[in-house]
Amino acid sequence: MNFNTKNKYATVFSSAGMTDIVFLLLIFFLLTSSFVIQPGIKVNLPKADQEEVPEERQQIVISIDDKEHFYLNGKQASENELLQNLYDSIQGLPDQVVIIQADKDARHEVVVKAMDYAKRAGARKLHIATSPLVEP
């Protein structure tokens, strides 16, 4: 017995639905992802071609604003307080990362002074924060 069906459907795979789902997932992840923003002092960082990202662990951040005030982890500190607090923070942790965020208008002398304080306190790993260079 041979049955003939009048309604024959051609099975075709359409990828349009799959691409819609992929784009929706991409938009969802872009909108829900969080960006790490370091809280603290407003500092205009200098630009650099290559930016080294420090490791994710407890970091000590020395900020220097455009008026050349020192901040240690967001708290304003005098030069003596900065040195003492750095010494207390680095004791026993010589591989502690110290990040220096200096405003681009701060004098070079002040930045070098902050680096010197970190070295005197025993820091071995110093990073200078920069903004990525935007190519025209």
Q: 5-19, 32-46, 90-104, 122-136: which range is least confident on average? A: 32-46
> pLDDT category, 90, cuts 50, 70, 90?
confident
| Tokens linked to 67 | 């008026």
> pLDDT category, 12, cuts 50, 70, 90?
confident
Comparing 8 with 81, the larger pLDDT belongs to 81
Q: pLDDT tens across 60-71, in order?
A: 899 999 888 999
Which residues contact residue 88 at a Cβ distance below 8 angstroms, ignoring those fewer than 6 apart?
none
Q: CATH classification of 47-132 is 3.30.420.270, yes or no?
A: yes
123: nearest Cα among 90, 101, 85, 89: 90
> pLDDT category, 24, cuts 50, 70, 90?
very high
Q: Are the beta carbons of 70 and 79 closer than 8 angstroms?
A: yes
- pTM for the model stands at 0.57
Checking if the pLDDT of 11 tops 80, the result is: no
Checking if the pLDDT of 36 tops 90, the result is: no
Q: What pLDDT score was predicted for residue 51? A: 57
Domain edges within the chain: 47-132
